[in-house]
Chain A
Amino acid sequence: MGELRAYAALFGGRLRSATAYRTSFAVEMVTNAAGTLIDVVTVFVLYRAAASVGGFTLDEALMMTGITAFAFVLADLTVGNIDQLETYVRTGRLDAVLVRPLAVLPQLILADLPLRKLMRLAVGTGVLGLALARNDVDWTPARALLLVTAPISGAVFFGAIFVLSAASAFWWIDSGKLGHGFTYGGRDFTSYPITVYGSWFRTLFAYGLGFGFVSYQPALTLLGRADPLGLPSWAGYLSPLIALVVSAIAAVVWRLGVRHYRSTGS
């Protein structure tokens, strides 16, 4: 109970500081939501120029964009701010976090929960809703279940990627941008049908790192389309398993990182 109260205090402090500058907070809320909207607008603009991209129509691609938008936004809202770790390590502020009798990861997450990203969740849900409305999904119990598990597993997957890329700061202090290639890059990768990518690049990102199972495979299963790249339709149900594996790896790397931390000299 004491621990929970400590976390609540951390969260409350964050809430008060976020609302201290009200105008900026309001602008941040709006711009954050608009940021997610721009990713979706990009998809529409590209499809304005071509009726079919990578063998998929706009409506079909929206299914992938929708699952990704929801999954990424949920992950970004909950653990995305972990990319601040770089600053904690560089300035040595992590010392203060380590000496408290609480776990490191939840402290960092709650100490800086980005409430300004809340409105993004509405946009993410909206995109997924739009994708469902524009596609004629042949509903079965399995597909209904998939509609719940795929976005949630995607969020867990992206969350683990956020933690992994932030943890690189334990070894390489100025690595912030390096992780963006996998977090934001992963979001961009999964927003389009993976058939558009060149073969080695696709193999690396989709199957090697697992991004293909976040939205592409589940979307195919929901749409009832065979995979032009040859994976069977049950591959759409693999995302929880993949998310679990990546989370386990992230947990191990995080623990190694915290042990590796040596604070900073003057």
Chain B
Amino acid sequence: MDALDASVPAISPRRPIGASVATFRALMGSGFRRYATYRQATIAGTFTNIVFGFLRCYVLLAVAAGAAGGAPGGYDARQLATFVWVGQGLLNVVGIWGWGDLADRIRTGDIVADLVRPVSPVTAYLAADLGRAAHALLTRVGPPVLVGALFFPLATPSRWQTVPLFAVSVLLAVIASFTCRYLVNATAYWLDDARGPLMFWTLGSGVLAGLYFPLRLLPDWLAVTLWVATPLPGLLQTPLDVLIERDQPALQAGLVALQAVWAAIMLALAHWVQRRAERRLVVQGG
């Protein structure tokens, strides 16, 4: 029985990168399938997105009708309607709200099962989150955009680069959103109970990502500060601004580059916090 020891067998030692990709893909698939089982929740959530789409769209169009020049924040009526309806779909892809899994696992001690795996928890949860986002992209974006298009005139992109830029922007938004949520959940390593930080996040992220109103309606200095100093506008406002071509091509691409910088910073930060936490973690329970 001398062949038995506690070392972890490498899945495919000669192709380490291929194996990592396979693992990442498998974890993504599991994230996708997990959300695919919540069919009632998907339908209920879509219905709510549509109700809020109507509410926000009517209010913003009334603001546009009352604004001098008819273009509050530099958006015309079509752009505002597109902003609202695509935003209602994208909200679920980016997944700003409702992820407390990691905090729960830290509090209960289940996190220990994640730590013994040969994949960093940040990477593993990122893969699962990308799977979740892929599911949302397929199921949650279409219905609100379709309803919006039926009831309101929407804007369509006129530049060739808008569509690929938008795709990259959405991916970066998902990564940035995930890392933000990861960090908020990770406060449980120090606090045991992350409910407070989670609520703080739910509250701040919606308004500062541009869900309640386009951030361009704020005074310029405040909007610019938010964009440069926080990753939050990159979660929703930037992809939407890119799609509706709010800015000249150079600024449009620049905003996506800024998103990429923030995604990289946040991902590095999540890894660093995770390493710090592992050094002080005491798993409770027997």
- Asked whether B197 lies within 8 Å of A27 as measured between CB atoms, the reply is yes
Chain B: which residue is nearest A178 at the CB level?
Answer: B44
CA distance A173 to B44 in the complex (A): 10
- Asked whether A53 lies within 8 Å of B199 as measured between CB atoms, the reply is no
Residues of A within 8 A of B63 (CB): 46, 49-50, 53
Residues of B within 8 A of A195 (CB): 62
Determine whether B269 belongs to the interface, using a CB cutoff of 8 Å to chain A.
no
Interfacial residues of chain B within 150-200, with CB under 8 A of chain A in the complex: 151, 191-197, 199-200
CA distance A246 to B202 in the complex (A): 31
**Looking at B62, B67, B72, B202, which has the most chain A CB atoms within 10 Å of its CB?**
B62
- Asked whether B45 lies within 8 Å of A31 as measured between CB atoms, the reply is no
Determine whether A241 belongs to the interface, using a CB cutoff of 8 Å to chain B.
no
Other than A49-B217, A173-B40, give 7 A-B pairs with Cβ distance below 8 A: A31-B202, A46-B63, A46-B213, A172-B40, A177-B44, A181-B51, A197-B54
Shortest Cβ distance from residue A83 to the other chain B in the assembled complex, whole angstroms = 12
Determine whether B99 belongs to the interface, using a CB cutoff of 8 Å to chain A.
no
Shortest Cβ distance from residue A233 to the other chain B in the assembled complex, whole angstroms = 23
Determine whether B221 belongs to the interface, using a CB cutoff of 8 Å to chain A.
no
Determine whether B16 belongs to the interface, using a CB cutoff of 8 Å to chain A.
no
Known contacts A38-B207, A173-B40: does B195 contact A21 (CB below 8 Å)? yes
- Asked whether A198 lies within 8 Å of B197 as measured between CB atoms, the reply is no
CA distance A176 to B199 in the complex (A): 18
Shortest Cβ distance from residue B39 to the other chain A in the assembled complex, whole angstroms = 8
Determine whether A229 belongs to the interface, using a CB cutoff of 8 Å to chain B.
no
Chain A: which residue is nearest B192 at the CB level?
Answer: A21
**Looking at B47, B61, B199, which has the most chain A CB atoms within 10 Å of its CB?**
B199
Known contacts A46-B217, A49-B217, A174-B40: does B196 contact A24 (CB below 8 Å)? yes
- Asked whether A197 lies within 8 Å of B196 as measured between CB atoms, the reply is no
Shortest Cβ distance from residue A228 to the other chain B in the assembled complex, whole angstroms = 13
Shortest Cβ distance from residue A16 to the other chain B in the assembled complex, whole angstroms = 15
Known contacts A32-B199, A49-B63: does B55 contact A185 (CB below 8 Å)? yes
Task: Convert A79-115 into 0s and 1s, putting 1 for each residue whose CB lies closer than 8 angstroms to a CB of B.
Answer: 0000000000000000000000000000000000000
Determine whether A45 belongs to the interface, using a CB cutoff of 8 Å to chain B.
yes
Chain A: which residue is nearest B197 at the CB level?
Answer: A27
Specify which of A23, A31, A42, A50 is in contact with B191 (CB 8 Å cutoff).
A23
- Asked whether A177 lies within 8 Å of B213 as measured between CB atoms, the reply is no
Interfacial residues of chain B within 191-228, with CB under 8 A of chain A in the complex: 191-197, 199-200, 202-203, 206-207, 212-213, 217-218
Specify which of B41, B60, B61, B206 is in contact with A177 (CB 8 Å cutoff).
B41
Specify which of A35, A48, A174, A189 is in contact with B217 (CB 8 Å cutoff).
A48
Known contacts A51-B66, A177-B47: does B203 contact A24 (CB below 8 Å)? no
Determine whether B109 belongs to the interface, using a CB cutoff of 8 Å to chain A.
no
Residues of B within 8 A of A34 (CB): 203
Query: Closest 7 interchain pairs by CB?
Result: A27-B196, A50-B66, A49-B72, A174-B40, A196-B62, A24-B196, A181-B51
Task: Convert B17-60 into 0s and 1s, putting 1 for each residue whose CB lies closer than 8 angstroms to a CB of A.
Answer: 00000000000000000000011110011011011101110111
- Asked whether A49 lies within 8 Å of B59 as measured between CB atoms, the reply is no
CA distance A147 to B206 in the complex (A): 32
Determine whether B143 belongs to the interface, using a CB cutoff of 8 Å to chain A.
no
Specify which of B41, B62, B196, B217 is in contact with A26 (CB 8 Å cutoff).
B196
Task: Convert B58-99 into 0s and 1s, putting 1 for each residue whose CB lies closer than 8 angstroms to a CB of A.
Answer: 111111111110001100000000000000000000000000
Residues of A within 8 A of B61 (CB): 196
Chain A: which residue is nearest B55 at the CB level?
Answer: A188
Specify which of A31, A42, A201 is in contact with B199 (CB 8 Å cutoff).
A31
Task: Convert A187-201 into 0s and 1s, putting 1 for each residue whose CB lies closer than 8 angstroms to a CB of B.
Answer: 011001001111001
Residues of B within 8 A of A224 (CB): none
